[in-house]
Amino acid sequence: MHDVPEIRAMIRELAVYEKAAEQARATEEQLRAALFGEDPAAFVLIAEDGDTGGVVGFALWFPRFSTWTGTRGMHLEDLYVRPGTRGAGHGRALLAGLAAICRERGYERFEWVVLDWNAPAIAFYESLGAELLEEWTVCRLTGAPLARLAARAVPAVG
């Protein structure tokens, strides 16, 4: 819980790298509730420097469910390692830790998305054996389109 300010800072750093700084609006309070509240929405692994103990990276994930396999899986929302510490194995250690959680919990899928222009990340993921599912496109509703669609909802009965 004491790492929340560092997690928030790294989320902002990641958003800057991904050219979307204005979209990273999560507050420390929101992250604290989402990660450490009574009903967590997500979970996080932290990477620390072995010499200094400083936080150098994080992996934020949440469970998902596959109707095709009938089992839970894991969605990695964010993986970030600070630039000055890349290449030291922190990213691989974070992903290995998540893979171990998948195996322990019986999750059959471990999935995430990567920006198509992020060649270093794509190469890294491929080196781990990740399959790139190029036939899938991420869809998103936010703001006014989300509100318009929600307004068309039929009230639930019972």
| pLDDT for the residue 16 | 97
Any idea which fold 4-151 has? Aminopeptidase (3.40.630)
Residue 20 has a pLDDT of: 95
Identify the pLDDT of residue 157: 77
pLDDT of residue 107: 97
pLDDT the model gives residue 19: 94
Q: Is the pTM of this model over 0.85?
A: yes
Q: What is the mean pLDDT of each run of 10 residues along the chain (158 residues)?
A: 93 96 97 97 96 94 96 98 95 98 97 95 96 93 95 87
Q: How far apart are CA 68 and CA 48, in angstroms?
A: 37
Active site residues: 125
